[in-house]
Amino acid sequence: MNNRRIPLFAAAWLAAAAVLRGQDAPAPTPTPAPEPEPPPAAPAPAPAPAVNPTFFNPAIAVIGNFLASAGNNPVQPSPAFQVEESEISFQAVVDPYARADLFLSFTNDGVEVEEGYVTFLNLPWQTQAKAGKFKVQFGKVNTLHLHVLPWADEPLPYQDILFQPEGDTWAAEGISVSKLIELPGDTFSEVYGQVLDDSTGTDLFASPAKGDLTYNGQYRIFRDFGDDHNLEASFSYAYGHNGTSATNTTNLQNAALLYRWKPLQGRPYRSLIIRGEYFWSNREQPNGLQKAQGFFAGADWQLGRQWFTGVRYEFSDRATDAAMRDKGVAATLTFMPSEFSVLRAEYRRRDYAPGIVANEGFLQIQFAIGAHGAHPF
């Protein structure tokens, strides 16, 4: 007999015996059904994120400008050491339609609002407007803050024609409206119209009466030439009372040209900027009309990742006496460890109209802490 059939025979015999005794055959023990797994618990709601207490605070930055000088300049004397300017900036978006910028300047003469204005970004006809105190859109260098200049000083026309002291450019309170105009061939232009109250105590413009305002306009054009070159040109015109009498006025003109070369590939740490500006001033005075002219041109070359060098030539008639002309040259060497610090050495020679020659050397150290927004390009 096959041994595999024995268990089946035994099972049948036991079932038959149970029937004979009046008993049912034992039912097989059922296998319990597996209990269904409970559904996964819903994740607990994440707690609401805490509001950053600094979220609505403006971006704050501090920029220091230390200047050491050597040499003698009786026309424009300067101390051996000075913190020429410390700038504190507050910049933030007001709402989807406006932003605000405030720049405070700390100098040896005290504290003043260098710039403080609100800009309305989306006005009809694709225009923008700002109101407050701002650097006047006159020329190119005039719109730049001291810490972004390629020199430790400003060119001669800013002192002789615009009457700005060393370390300053022309700023005034008023309203400015601008519009960007796209031209064919990847060319862009922008037009500015500004109404200013320039009664700030300087000799450039003054307002004998409340309605004697200063008016300024500029048209500039910009174009890229390939990936590495671009050119910018502008013409500016300003008109207003100069305060020498109730009716005397001054009109200023400026033509500026700026060329930039910055390769995007192959030589990333090389660049060249060539700039020049010409000034005309027609100033009415009790002793007659004074017609003064001024000019400067400079080139700045990037030697490597952190090194720059530059030269500048300048001359300017004096706005109050156009027969007197000052001339000068300057050379700079700049080391920029990072975008937050600058060390610059400058040699400057100026020949002033009375026959005074001044040879000077400057050492400029700048540092920046905090989030400082980009300045106009």
Give me the average pLDDT of each 10-residue run along the chain (377 residues): 43 42 47 58 60 74 95 92 92 94 90 95 93 96 92 95 87 95 90 87 78 94 92 97 91 97 85 97 95 98 96 97 97 95 97 95 95 64
Q: Among all chains, which residue has been given the structure tokens 């400079």?
A: 298
Both tokens of residue 98? 């406006």
For 140-165, the three-class secondary structure string (H helix, E strand, C coil) is: CHHHCCHHHCCCCCCCHHHHHCCCCC
CB-CB contact of 373 with 102 (8 Å): no
Residue 34: its pLDDT value, please? 56
CA-based nearest residue to 127, from 180, 176, 175: 180
Task: Specify the pTM.
Answer: 0.82
Domains of the chain: 59-370 (2.40.160.10)
Residues 6 or more apart from 292 whose CB is under 8 A from it? 160, 161, 279, 280, 281, 283, 316, 317, 318, 319, 322
If phi > 0 it is left, if psi is from -120 to 50 it is alpha, else beta; for residue 319 that is: alpha
Instruction: State the Cα torsion 179-184-185-189 to the nearest 10°.
Output: -20
Half-sphere exposure of 13 (CA within 13 A, CB side): 6
